[in-house]
Amino acid sequence: MFIEKQAVITHAKGLHARVAAMIVQKAYELEIKWQTKIFFRQPGRAPIPAVSLMPLVGLRIKQGDALSVEAAGGAAKAAVDEMAAFVESDFPLADENTMNQVDRLLQDNAVTAGQIFGSMANGLIVTDQQDTITIFNPAAERILGLPASTVIGQKAQEVIPGSRLHIVAQSRQAELGCRQIIGASSIITNRTPLIVDGSVYGAMAIFEDISALEAVIGELKAVKELKERLQLVLESVQDGICVVNQRGDITYVNPAYAELTSLSQELLIGQNVRETSPAGARSRVLSTGQTMMGAITVKQERTTLIANVSPIIVDGEITGAVSVVKNVSEVPKLMDKLSQIAAKAEYLEQELRRTQKPGPAFRNFIGQSGKTREALAIAAKAAESNATVLIRGESGTGKELVAEGIHYAGKRGNGPFIRINCAAIPENLLESELFGHEKGAFTGAIRQKPGKFSLADKGTIFLDEIGELSRSMQAKLLRVLQQKEFSRVGGEAVIRVDVRIIAATSRNLEKMTADGHFREDLYYRLNVIPIFLPPLRERISDLPLLTDYFLAKFTHQVGMQPKTISGEALRGLMGYHWPGNVRELENVIERMVTLAENDGLTVADLPVYLQQESRRENLCQPVASSKAIGADFVQSEILPWEEYEKQIITMALARYGSYNAAGKALGLTHKTVAAKAQKYGIEKMIVWEKSNSLVKNTKFSR
């Protein structure tokens, strides 16, 4: 029999915790007395056991609220009547024994709540109306790294970074699923205001450390991205890929494999290779577990396929195989095409090397002529290796500058660069200078001295005028080139060095070798990468650039105003054959800068022997010009002015090789010459090449 009865609460404070505890204690007594279960229910809610304190307190029943009392069984009516009467009473003071039982019940439930809070994996923080922390469970200590003893009783916003519990309490609005970073941890937090009977009693935060979860999510995302990337790679490669499982069933083929076999992916997947090709490479790899490389198959369409098959082994067990297939039918054609392309690329690389500007390590070598660019291109290429370099050229052509450029442009640029002039050191001292000597090796050897080769270790040694070495020194140098080792004078210890050798000479080593003055084996050891520097007379178009460079250099050294040079004086310089090459030109310019009275250098400032050359040049030049122009005037019609201007600009650039030098000769600025050349389509690069030919074929009367 089921009995239900409404009871109206008359107690002024409703069912607060102590009253609820008294009701629960009474329910315990009645259930034992009447041997039945008693339940409480509010309208629209599920029934709760009358002996459960926390759910009863959670109903938040106030004075005047109705509470349904329910029971079932033979004594249900008596139990319901007695329970309803107790609920409707004003709860008079009970005896001491009953009150002790009520207090014990409250304590037990408080302990249970504390155990729940302490056992929670999530952090729990509760604050009161003043934002003071009242509950701070162990999980909160672990996640936030703060001990409860130091934060309980403190304001949350003062001790917890980024706390918003005071804001939640003020706004009465919950904040759910909020993510924040605290230290190295990522936290997800739910903040809720504590509202009872319309009044705010504080706020509560329940939070969880999701760092590990985010790490797992990140790993899963990375695995997913890797899988998608791998799938994209497999779908994109041109080689055919086929994967089979342990039984031999094809589980994956990429589009390239389907194209090579002329079958669709749908038809291939699911086939068993042990049945379709029992003697094939995949079947054998599945049986033996051994990789097979270069398995060749010829299809009916005369297509030749080559396959590499590898087993898939997991924990020592063969779980499948993967086959990578290539179509090699087109290889011979591709090889022919590749050879043609390689030959063309090699040719273009050589041409590019001839025309491209040298690196910054060669900036001190002034020149733009074809021969200059070709020599510097070889030097720049030589700098990329450790090969021995032999620089050939007349005295004063800049061999040491090129040697420096090769050193500083190469991998040894941070190492030492040691120079030694073999012609400037007496024969009896040269060996000691190159290889060093021990203390007491000869009279005057009062201490041990390292040689140039020791100083150049991990760097470069520049042996200038190598052709001046005696035969005996040539033999000793050959050993260093071959073995990279030597002994000091008067010493027995063998010293190994890591040195790059750059040699230079103005002598004809081939003739010296034929005459027996230079060792043939040493010549071939040195002549690995030969570089030939042209004399100044063979690159006369570089002379205006060199002149401008030396003018700026010497005027800067002595603190003078920048000086210029007239066209007549420049023609005088260009008409000379320069047996001393660039070094002689440098000395001439320094003399002119030092002795000149004015800022503009003229023919009068040239040395006497160059003034004579200039006068001869000027005597010849008007005759030729007058004859050419006179013939045009006499024998042909008068041409437009622009035609004569074009011819003059072309001749000036062909003779002087640069806008600046041509402008000085014509009495114009270099900007005007450049504008005229662009107007008439005169290519300066072509003009330079013509200039080389012009200088070679011009005879100067002396």
In DSSP notation, 380-411 reads HHHTTS---EEEE--TTS-HHHHHHHHHHHST
pLDDT of 42 strictly over 70: yes
Reading the block at residue 673, the tokens are 């010459």
Tokens 């090796």 locate to 441
Give a yes or no: residue 411 inside a domain.
yes
pLDDT of 502 strictly over 90: yes
Tokens 């250098």 locate to 601
Question: What does the alpha-carbon distance between residue 415 and residue 396 come to, in Å, rounded to a whole number?
Answer: 26
Give a yes or no: residue 670 inside a domain.
yes
The mean pLDDT value for 154-170 works out to 87
pLDDT of 149 strictly over 90: no
Residues 382/402, Cβ–Cβ less than 8 Å: no
Number of other residues whose CB lies within 10 A of the CB of residue 73: 14
* Same-domain check for residues 106 and 135: no
What pLDDT was estimated at residue 695? 38
* Same-domain check for residues 557 and 410: no
Give a yes or no: residue 229 inside a domain.
no
* Same-domain check for residues 462 and 405: yes
Q: What is the CATH number of the domain that holds 510?
A: 3.40.50.300
- The tens digit of pLDDT for each residue in 527-574 reads 999 999 999 988 888 898 899 989 988 988 888 888 888 888 888 888
pLDDT of 520 strictly over 90: yes
Per DSSP, 700 falls in state -
Give a yes or no: residue 15 inside a domain.
yes
Give a yes or no: residue 227 inside a domain.
no
Give a yes or no: residue 334 inside a domain.
no
Q: How many CA atoms lie within 13 A of 143 on its CB side?
A: 28
Q: Give 95's pLDDT tier (boundaries 50, 70, 90).
A: low
* Same-domain check for residues 316 and 178: no
Phi–psi pair at 627, nearest 5 degrees: -65, -45
Query: Could you tell me what percent of the chain has a pLDDT over 70?
Result: 85
Give a yes or no: residue 222 inside a domain.
no
- The tens digit of pLDDT for each residue in 564-611 reads 888 888 888 888 889 999 999 999 999 998 888 888 888 888 888 887
Q: Interior CA angle at 390 toward 385 and 394, to 5°?
A: 140
* Same-domain check for residues 363 and 430: yes
Higher pLDDT, 209 or 694: 209
Reading the block at residue 338, the tokens are 């590749």
* Same-domain check for residues 566 and 687: yes
* Same-domain check for residues 600 and 517: no
What pLDDT was estimated at residue 623? 36
pLDDT of 690 strictly over 50: no
- Is the overall model pTM greater than 0.75, yes or no? no
pLDDT of 692 strictly over 50: no
Q: What is the CATH number of the domain that holds 568?
A: 1.10.8.60
pLDDT of 17 strictly over 50: yes
* Residue 327, amino acid: N
* Same-domain check for residues 365 and 423: yes
β-bridge mates for residue 272, sequence order: 249
What pLDDT was estimated at residue 349? 66
Q: What is the CATH number of the domain that holds 28?
A: 3.30.1340.10
> Domain range spanning residue 530?
357-534
Number of other residues whose CB lies within 10 A of the CB of residue 251: 12
* Same-domain check for residues 436 and 469: yes
Query: Could you tell me what percent of the chain has a pLDDT over 90?
Result: 17
The mean pLDDT value for 89-117 works out to 60
CB within 8 Å of 550: residues ≥ 6 apart: 585, 586, 589, 590
- The tens digit of pLDDT for each residue in 326-359 reads 887 767 677 767 867 876 776 566 556 555 556 6
Higher pLDDT, 247 or 98: 247
The mean pLDDT value for 463-468 works out to 92
49-58 contacts at long range (C-beta below 8 A, 24 or more positions apart): 50/23, 50/24, 50/83, 51/24, 51/27, 52/24, 53/17, 53/20, 53/21, 53/24, 53/105, 53/106, 53/109, 54/109, 54/112, 54/113, 56/15, 56/20, 56/23, 56/24, 57/15, 57/16, 57/17, 57/20
* Same-domain check for residues 501 and 607: no
Q: How many helices (H) and strands (E) does the chain have?
A: 29, 25
Give a yes or no: residue 346 inside a domain.
no
* Same-domain check for residues 75 and 141: no
* Same-domain check for residues 389 and 517: yes
pLDDT of 112 strictly over 70: no
Boundary residue ending a domain (49, 79, 111): 111
